[in-house]
Amino acid sequence: MKFVLLFGPQAVGKMTVGQQLSKITDLTLFHNHMTIDLLEPHFGFSPEMWRLSNLFREEIFKSFSTSDKYGMIFTFVWSFDEKEDWEFVDKICDIFNSQGADLYFVELEADLEERLKRNKTSNRLEQKPTKRNIKQSEQELLSTMESLRLNTNEGEIIKENYLRINNTNLSPDEVAKMIKSRFKL
């Protein structure tokens, strides 16, 4: 079993890279918005929505980690100054570690101008209903840059299988091939 945690700020290309990586490997993509967009219409962006989303994810991870599947890609916006995010990542890793899975950490970063362009792509808007209000999505993207740290500091992730990629000028296919090659997926 393989578990790839693909993380970085909003509109950096996590889902799109995950889609490409799943096409060239036997990994299954489970992107962050699969639970968010399921629950948001019923609970809004409330603490209850986030609690339920994390609960659903944990149950999916537990079931998947005991399956005979090759592996999973999970995309996540990880706030490095939020203790709860570190705890959530630790919990995910523990679930997969308990089943003997190999863990891979892939961090994406891109320039703000590129992320603002990606925030409006048809694939993003099709796959993520809560991002279709582009003005609101853009405001959130910009405001979180002021309030949260969504990329690591040098040396912050100390994992054997860690890769950081600036994908500002790379296609999703190029990034997916880099990940596949680096980790022999």
Instruction: Convert the pLDDT of each residue in 112-124 to its tens digit.
Output: 999 999 888 887 7
pLDDT above 90 for 49: no
pLDDT above 80 for 131: no
93 close to 158: Cβ distance less than 8 angstroms: no
pLDDT of the residue at 114: 95
11's CB contacts (< 8 A; 6+ apart) are: 115, 116, 118, 119, 124, 137, 141
pLDDT of the residue at 34: 83
pLDDT of the residue at 91: 96
Q: Where are the domains of the chain?
A: 2-183
36 close to 80: Cβ distance less than 8 angstroms: no
Angle between helix axes 14-24 and 172-183 (nearest 10 degrees) is 60
Question: How many Cα neighbours within 13 Å face the side chain of 40?
Answer: 11
* Whole-structure pTM value: 0.91
pLDDT of the residue at 77: 94
What is the token pair recorded at 169?
């000028």
Instruction: Convert the pLDDT of each residue in 52-101 to its tens digit.
Output: 999 999 999 999 999 999 999 999 999 999 999 999 999 999 999 999 99
The mean per-residue pLDDT over the stretch 141-148 comes to 90
103 close to 161: Cβ distance less than 8 angstroms: yes
CATH number of 2-183: 3.40.50.300
Across the chain, the runs of DSSP E, i.e. the strands, are 2-7, 27-30, 71-76, 102-109, 162-166
pLDDT of the residue at 105: 98
* Alpha-carbon gap, residue 145 to 9, rounded angstroms: 9
